[in-house]
């Protein structure tokens, strides 16, 4: 059956909406394949606005990996803003892909990448606009398989009713395996319908199909067990891990949008995983082990990517980029290569203790020394031991002294509020730290024109981390604590005016907490919020705490639970957690020990430089860490004139 473009209908609506360019596609390096020449078709979604979704590396990588495969087609779709949503409903225009403007409902797979839980209501908008039943149980063989991926998919239980499958971990190989299973099933004439396809996927052990698991509850509301409800379905579903990053140099041809997006640069992932062991950090826990891309592999990607895009800035991405075993040679090699071309280099996520001035000098060879950003995360030495962020205040002061001495004038510091065992005193010490930074800066730079910005957000405990058992601080207590810190900073006559203070109130964190550690019963809240008009929960101007609380009050009490039960309640060792049957490779007993170490303020080192401390990932997944150095150098590129 031919699938028609909905662009003619959409085009008539575009003059009436904000930033219409985001809906027309046609980006450099985008791909439109012939529908009829392919037999497995994916619609990939990032469930947020185009300006946030387009630069997402996960979607970009899978889009290219899938489209490179013969017979497989992938197109992209993003959340439409409420102005267009309203017009699409009025005029019967379905959720569309931006590549060929095909209706999402016509694809075989509707894959949605959840970096954050705050995209859940946008999933429901897209499903309804696509004319796909909101709940998995109501879908037929003619509807796409709705698949969740991304970090939030490590606990997909709150959206279990709305998705058909979840895949956890690295997507590159997983999407190709799924494609082959779908291809075979379609070639056989779709035997057994949708159920059979889902069963074939579940039997691989790497695709979670929520409907094949029953959740049983105890009288007090806790889960008693989660059990497969048909044979052949594994008790636990494993995450996917790509071992050799050099074999997967994606994106090779990064998408270059016409519309303005949040990241106007080319990104190269220099390694995946992190074993620093910060206890609050879900990304660091679920992406283990560390796998480095080689220096030559990185150089090659940067070279091809810049030629294919014309971007002016290269971001070297990872969870802690200065930790790459050859970062010095990488930065110097790239700065040498592109010195003439006005290409800037950036290194997001730099640790205070890994920062060194030679590296910073290489990175800013072409540009201004405006600001440096560090994340001590905790204000006191004690709380940094609890969270295993092993950075001393001396380290920090030494680092900023070097930076101010080398021409930087502004330092940004990131912190969290509401960490386990935290007291007012731990947070108030953030103010002392900022004062010490300014004092040192004035001394070293011989100038009063020195700034330090303190940025602070509420801590949300996440699944698959040692803090998954921790109580979350209530919104009210968070606000009180932040208020005390604000007053302390503002009250400082000598330094207060040099310190910027940015914070978020505690309310969005509570909703994020509910969704992060929620179970299947939270699905009713999401649906209720959606039906009452909730959208774009990651956006301050759309997020409504009251809407979430009202919706929770309307749906959770009849199931014997409430928002506090999911957020501020501490869990015990025995409790079955909603995500226990999703295997991130981490040994639950190790996580518990690490949680106990946190309460004892005991630090645990990094297994890249210290012996293994048995988190469980390597033996569980039969893997090993992959780090350099390779000893190779980046050679200058031959200049063709």
Partner 1 sequence: MQRVRLRYTKRGRLRFTSHRDFQRAFERALRRAEVPMAYSAGFTPHPKVSYANAAPTGTGSEAEYLEIALTQQRDPEALRALLDECMPTGLDIIDAVEARGSDFSDRLQASEWELRFEGVSPQEAARAADTFLAAESVEVKRQTKKGIRAFDARAAVRTLVPAGGTGQGAPANRADRPGDAACAILRLVVRHVTPAVRPDDVLSGLRATADLAPPVPTAVTRLAQGPLDEETGTVTDPFAPDRDALSGPTGSGDLPSVATVRGGTA
Q: Which residues bind partner 1 (CB under 8 A)?
A: 5, 7-8, 11-12, 14-16, 19-21, 23-28, 256, 258-260, 264, 306-312, 341-342, 368
Distances (CA, A) of 48 to 13, 51, 78, 124: 20, 8, 6, 12
Q: Which helix (H) or strand (E) holds 116?
A: none
Nearer residue to partner 1 within complex by CB, 19 or 486: 19
Look at the chain and count its residues: 641
Cα separation values, 442 from 113, 431, 435, 446, 447, Å: 45, 17, 11, 5, 5
CB of 397: closest distance to partner 1 in angstroms? 29
User: Residue 105 CB, nearest distance to partner 1 (Å)?
Assistant: 22
Q: Is 192 left (phi over 0), alpha (psi -120 to 50) or beta?
A: left
* Rounded least distance, CB 534 to partner 1, Å: 29
Which has the closest alpha carbon to 116: 174, 68, 52, 24? 52
Asked if 464 and 282 touch (Cβ cutoff 8 Å), the reply is yes
Q: How far apart are CA 534 and CA 532, in angstroms?
A: 6
Shortest spacing between CB 310 and partner 1, in angstroms: 3
Shortest reach from residue 340's CB to partner 1, in Å = 11
- The two tokens of residue 47 are 């469930």
CB of 7 to partner 1, least distance (A): 6
Closest to partner 1 by CB, 21 or 262: 21
The least distance separating partner 1 from the CB of residue 254, rounded to whole angstroms, comes to 11
Tell me the helices (H) and strands (E) count for the chain, helix number first. 21, 18
- Token digits for 77? 């779709």
* Smallest separation, CB 54 to partner 1 (Å): 13
The smaller minimum CB distance to partner 1, of residues 173 and 308, is found at 308
Nearer to partner 1, 312 or 432 (CB): 312
- The tokens describing 358, both together, are 């030679």
Q: How many CB atoms lie within 10 A of CB 571?
A: 16
User: Cβ of residue 308: shortest distance to partner 1, in angstroms?
Assistant: 8
Give residues with Cβ within 8 angstroms of 25, minimum separation 6: 97, 98, 99, 100, 101
Shortest approach of partner 1 to residue 323 CB, angstroms?
A: 30
Which lies closer to partner 1 via its Cβ, residue 26 or residue 193?
A: 26
- Report the relative pairing of strands 271-272 and 499-503 from DSSP bridges: unpaired
Among 440, 415, 442, 441, which Cα is nearest to 429's?
A: 415
| Residue nearer to partner 1 on the CB measure, 188 or 264 | 264
Residue 91 has a CB neighbour count (10 Å cut-off) of 11
Residue closer to partner 1 by CB (options 407, 629) is: 407
Number of neighbouring beta carbons within 10 Å of residue 441: 26
What CA–CA distance (Å, rounded) separates 145 from 174?
15
């Amino acid at each position: 059956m031919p699938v028609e473009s909905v662009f003619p209908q959409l085009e008539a609506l575009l003059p009436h909406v904000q930033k219409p360019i985001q809906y027309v596609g046609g980006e450099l390096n985008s791909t439109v394949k012939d529908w009829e020449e392919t037999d497995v078709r994916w619609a990939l979604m990032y469930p947020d606005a185009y300006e946030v979704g387009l630069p997402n590396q996960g979607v970009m990588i899978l889009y290219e990996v899938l489209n490179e495969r013969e017979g497989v087609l992938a197109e992209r779709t993003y959340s439409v803003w409420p102005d267009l949503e309203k017009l699409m409903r009025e005029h019967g225009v379905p959720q569309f892909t931006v590549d060929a403007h095909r209706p999402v409902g016509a694809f075989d797979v509707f894959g949605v990448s959840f970096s954050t839980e705050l995209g859940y209501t946008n999933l429901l908008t897209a499903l309804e606009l696509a004319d796909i039943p909101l709940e998995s149980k109501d879908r037929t063989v003619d509807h796409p398989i709705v698949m969740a991926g991304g970090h939030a998919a490590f606990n997909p239980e709150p959206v279990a009713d709305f998705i058909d499958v979840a895949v956890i971990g690295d997507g590159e190989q997983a999407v190709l395996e799924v494609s082959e299973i779908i291809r075979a099933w379609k070639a056989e004439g779709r035997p057994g319908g949708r159920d059979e396809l889902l069963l074939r996927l579940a039997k691989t052990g790497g695709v979670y199909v929520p409907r094949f698991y029953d959740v049983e509850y105890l009288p007090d509301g806790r889960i008693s067990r989660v059990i497969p409800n048909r044979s052949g379905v594994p008790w636990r579903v494993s995450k996917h891990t790509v071992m050799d990053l050099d074999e997967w140099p994606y994106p090779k041809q990064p998408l270059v949008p016409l519309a303005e997006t949040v990241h106007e640069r080319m990104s190269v992932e220099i390694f995946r995983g992190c074993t620093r062991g910060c206890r609050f950090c879900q990304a660091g826990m679920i992406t283990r082990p560390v796998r480095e891309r080689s220096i030559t592999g990185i150089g090659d990607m940067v070279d091809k990517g810049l030629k294919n895009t014309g971007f002016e800035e290269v971001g070297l991405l990872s969870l802690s980029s200065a930790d790459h075993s050859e970062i010095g040679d990488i930065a110097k090699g790239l700065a040498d290569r592109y010195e003439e071309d006005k290409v800037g280099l950036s290194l997001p996520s730099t640790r205070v203790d890994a920062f060194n001035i030679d590296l910073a000098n290489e990175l800013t060879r072409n540009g201004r020394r405006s600001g440096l950003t560090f994340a001590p995360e905790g204000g006191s030495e004690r709380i940094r031991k609890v969270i295993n962020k092993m950075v001393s205040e001396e380290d920090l002061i030494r680092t900023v002294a070097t930076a101010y001495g080398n021409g930087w004038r502004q330092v940004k510091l990131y912190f969290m509020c509401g960490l386990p065992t935290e007291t007012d005193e731990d947070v108030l010490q953030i103010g002392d730290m900022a004062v010490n930074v300014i004092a040192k800066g004035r001394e070293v730079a011989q100038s009063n024109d020195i700034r330090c910005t303190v940025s602070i957000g509420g801590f949300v405990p996440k699944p698959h981390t040692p803090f998954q058992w921790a109580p979350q601080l209530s919104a009210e207590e968070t606000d009180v604590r932040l208020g005390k810190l604000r007053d302390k900073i503002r009250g400082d006559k000598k330094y207060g005016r040099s310190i910027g203070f940015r914070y978020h109130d505690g309310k969005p964190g509570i909703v994020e907490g509910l969704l992060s550690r929620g179970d299947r019963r939270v699905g009713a809240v999401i649906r209720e919020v959606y039906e009452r008009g909730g959208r774009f929960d990651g956006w301050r101007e759309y997020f409504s705490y009251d809407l979430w609380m009202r919706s929770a009050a309307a749906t959770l009490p009849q199931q014997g639970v409430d928002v506090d039960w999911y957020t501020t309640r501490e869990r015990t060792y025995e409790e079955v957690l909603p995500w226990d049957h999703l295997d991130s490779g981490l040994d639950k007993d190790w996580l518990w020990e690490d949680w106990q170490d946190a309460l004892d303020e005991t630090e645990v080192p990094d297994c890249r430089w210290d012996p293994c401390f048995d988190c469980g990932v390597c033996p569980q997944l039969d893997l090993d860490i992959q780090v350099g150095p390779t000893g190779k150098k980046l050679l200058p590129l031959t200049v063709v004139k």
